């Protein structure tokens, strides 16, 4: 039972970053009907920004007191979010806008080219091997009734939750969020009502990229590594989370991200770590078989 609760907690902690990356996929897909294959690479950029900033600051490994560590963590997060947000805006302007609205695979292939270029640029700049991201958060383990949570896990989880709450607030309670929902629902009608569809689309990719960048920082610090091809499998799994949930509800994507993390942790803990990566695909196959529109909502092409 204790092991079960421990795996549950681990799964929720790991799954929260899946949820954040999946939300980015979902946002962009809902608003533009575009599968942004460069999204995982933006996530990878986030992890590398963390690496560059932290090694550049010469932060002593786990030698900071709590407040300084928190300040460094938030600073890194901010820099990474600004970088990836800018990257997202540029990506939308140069690649997605000229290709969208034609055939669903055209922006897909165009962003695939961007993703190949970004992966290999990272490889060129930082080498093919994973680099070590120093952990700024002091290693500390909280124990509650036999269940252990490390401080880094907690930081990752809290970051993810904060991002999800912020996104929820943006989409449901702001003017721009309402415009975003309108474009997702009916772009032509939204345009007729005076919504600047292009600007909303660009902002959406920017926001999705900001979220991916934050997730990249959190994950880079959690596993203390960043690698050029880290986005591949991670992005694919997050994409599957989005598909399993359907793109109608933000909450559904969050829930499925957490669910995937938990199921993966359970499979690792009770069956075998070899099968861990198979879980996502099994989940997708099962859901598509019974509910081809996703668990909680439809994706109309």
Partner 1 sequence: MSSSLSALLPAFWVVTLITAGLNTIITMGLYFSNSAGALSACHAALAGVGGYVAAVLTTNFDWPFPVALLAGAVMGFAIGMLLALVTLRMNELVAGLTTLAFGETMVIIAFNLDYIGGANGFMGIPLQTTFAAVYPLLVLVVFAAWRFDRSRLGYAARACRDNPRAAAAMGINVPWVKTLVFALGSGIAGLGGGLRAHYVLVQNPDDMGFFFSLNYLIFWVFGGSYTFWGPVFGAMFLTILPELLRFSLYDRFIIYGVILTAIVIVRLQGVITRVPLGRRPFFVAWVSRLWRRPVPAASLGGSQGGR
Using rule CB under 8 A, residue 124 touches partner 1? yes
In order, the DSSP letters of 199-255 are: HHHHHHHHHHHHHHHHHHHHHHHHTTEE-TTTHHHHHHHHHHHHHHH-SS-HHHHHH
Judged by CB under 8 A, how many residues of this single chain contact partner 1?
55
The single residue among 63, 78, 82, 98 that binds partner 1, judged by CB under 8 A, is 98
Using rule CB under 8 A, residue 105 touches partner 1? yes
Q: Distance (Å, rounded) from C-alpha 257 to C-alpha 116?
A: 25
| Nearer Cβ to partner 1 (178/291) | 291
The single residue among 134, 249, 284, 296 that binds partner 1, judged by CB under 8 A, is 284
Smallest distance from partner 1 to CB 298, Å? 10
Using rule CB under 8 A, residue 293 touches partner 1? yes
How many CA atoms lie within 13 Å of 271's alpha carbon, on the beta-carbon side?
Answer: 11
Using rule CB under 8 A, residue 116 touches partner 1? yes
Using rule CB under 8 A, residue 271 touches partner 1? no
Smallest distance from partner 1 to CB 38, Å? 9
Using rule CB under 8 A, residue 161 touches partner 1? no
| Nearer Cβ to partner 1 (99/224) | 99
Q: Distance (Å, rounded) from C-alpha 150 to C-alpha 268?
A: 19
First to last CA, the chain: 44
The single residue among 68, 82, 109, 162 that binds partner 1, judged by CB under 8 A, is 109
DSSP helix/strand/coil, 144: strand
Using rule CB under 8 A, residue 274 touches partner 1? yes
Using rule CB under 8 A, residue 191 touches partner 1? yes
The single residue among 64, 147, 236, 266 that binds partner 1, judged by CB under 8 A, is 236
Which candidate, 160, 189, 121, 140, places its Cα nearest to that of 255?
160
| Nearer Cβ to partner 1 (61/129) | 129
| Nearer Cβ to partner 1 (107/213) | 107
Which candidate, 192, 229, 279, 297, places its Cα nearest to that of 15?
279
Sign of CA dihedral 239, 234, 219, 89: negative
Using rule CB under 8 A, residue 97 touches partner 1? yes
DSSP helix/strand/coil, 61: coil
């Amino acid at each position: 039972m204790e092991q079960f609760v421990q795996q549950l907690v681990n799964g929720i902690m790991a799954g929260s970053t899946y949820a954040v990356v999946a939300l980015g996929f979902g946002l962009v897909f809902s608003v533009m009907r575009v599968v942004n294959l460069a999204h995982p690479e933006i996530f990878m950029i986030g992890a590398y920004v963390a690496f560059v900033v932290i090694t550049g600051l010469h932060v002593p490994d786990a030698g900071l007191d709590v407040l300084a560590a928190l300040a460094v963590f938030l600073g890194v997060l901010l820099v990474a979010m600004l970088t990836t947000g800018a990257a997202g805006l540029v990506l939308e302007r140069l690649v997605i806008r000229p290709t969208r609205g034609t055939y669903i695979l055209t922006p897909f292939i165009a962003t695939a080219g961007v993703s190949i270029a970004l992966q290999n640029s990272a490889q060129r700049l930082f080498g093919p091997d994973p680099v070590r991201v120093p952990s700024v958060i002091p290693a500390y383990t909280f124990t509650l009734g036999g269940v252990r949570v490390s401080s880094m896990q907690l930081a990752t989880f809290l970051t993810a939750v904060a991002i999800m709450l912020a996104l929820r607030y943006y989409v449901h309670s702001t003017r721009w969020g309402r415009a975003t929902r309108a474009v997702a629902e009916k772009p032509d009608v939204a345009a007729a009502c005076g919504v600047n569809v292009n600007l909303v689309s660009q902002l959406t990719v920017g926001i999705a990229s900001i979220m991916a960048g934050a997730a990249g920082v959190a994950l880079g610090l959690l596993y203390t590594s960043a690698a050029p091809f880290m986005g591949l499998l991670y992005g694919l799994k997050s994409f599957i989370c989005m598909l399993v949930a359907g793109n109608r509800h933000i909450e559904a994507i969050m829930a499925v991200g957490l669910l995937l993390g938990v199921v993966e942790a359970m499979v690792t803990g009770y069956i075998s770590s070899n099968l861990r990566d198979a879980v996502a695909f099994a989940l997708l196959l099962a859901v598509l078989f019974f509910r081809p529109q996703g668990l909680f909502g439809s994706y109309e092409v």
